[in-house]
Amino acid sequence: MEKKLAIVTGANSGMGLATVIALAKKGLHVIMLCRNEEKGKRALELAKEESQSSSIELMIGDLASMESIHHFAETFKANHDSLDVLINNAGVVTLKRQETKDGFESMLGVNHLGHFLLTNLLIDELKRSDVGRIVIVSSGAHKWGKFNFDDPYFRKGFNVVKGYGRSKLANVWFMKGLAKRLEGTSVSVNALHPGAVATNIGVDRDTGFGKRFIKLLVPFFRTPERGARTAVFLATSEHVKTVSGSYFYDEKDAPLSKLAQNDELVERFWHWSEQQVGLD
């Protein structure tokens, strides 16, 4: 039998790397989707060493660029007919307002819109799997998230806490909208809160600013391995094989905010997202 095939975004460090190692140990063939080739190569060697598996490969793609996402999807499709697991793990936190290459506010652009486009481009390959699974790493921060359709990219009054919460609410709305569209197919989608994990999420992607601050917080946070457990559970466990449209914490169903469960807003946000990435 062929190995099951998984893609993990943001796989070069932290929870993404821990997820890759855990999946490889379970016998899956894992594609590490990384933005930086040099960091990706180092992470690939570490993942192979830690997992004792050679079934791991590196592919380059930048979730802050729609052009790069399209290129990644085309390259993947040229080499693979189906996909069993997609783990949307990559995430950024920017202390100051930044924009992606396409003009999206960075946290909403990378944490949601990049993954929204990637997932939709790979949906046919996921449907060709006997049991396709999509896992979206959200956060308890969705509970303070609010969305302003008149200023979605925070051009006025940017605030890092509100911006991050907005991007994590977007993750849950995406999960809810996708679950509805996948009803009756072989593909499930669920979201999760990994807990407070010590990763590089708050470190500037280009300058490295914030690394010292993250090191100070490490003793108070979960390890990346602990944070990855629920993602790995949703990707592999028989217990959730038929579960879709749910939100998990510590491998258990967890409550969502009332706003996150608003079906009217879920639909409005889905159509807005399609327009932003050119899928409408």
Hey, how many other C-beta atoms are within 10 angstroms of the C-beta on 278?
Answer: 10
Produce one character per residue of 20-32: b if its CB has 16 or more CB atoms within 10 Å, e if not: bbbbbebebbbbb
Can you give the chain as a three-state secondary structure string?
Answer: CCCCEEEEECCCCHHHHHHHHHHHHCCCEEEEEECCHHHHHHHHHHHHHHHCCCCEEEEECCCCCHHHHHHHHHHHHHHCCCCCEEEECCCCCCCCCCECCCCCEHHHHHHHHHHHHHHHHCHHHHHCCCCEEEEEECCHHHHHCCCCCCCCCCCCCCCHHHHHHHHHHHHHHHHHHHHHHCCCCCEEEEEEECCCECCCCCCCCCCCCCHHHHHHHHHHCECHHHHHHHHHHHHHCHHHCCCCCCEEECCEECCCCCHHHCHHHHHHHHHHHHHHHCCC
Clarify whether 164 is annotated catalytic. Answer: yes
Residues 153, 164, 247, 249: which is the catalytic one?
164
8 A C-beta contact, residue 22 and residue 29: no
Looking at the annotation, which residues are catalytic? 164
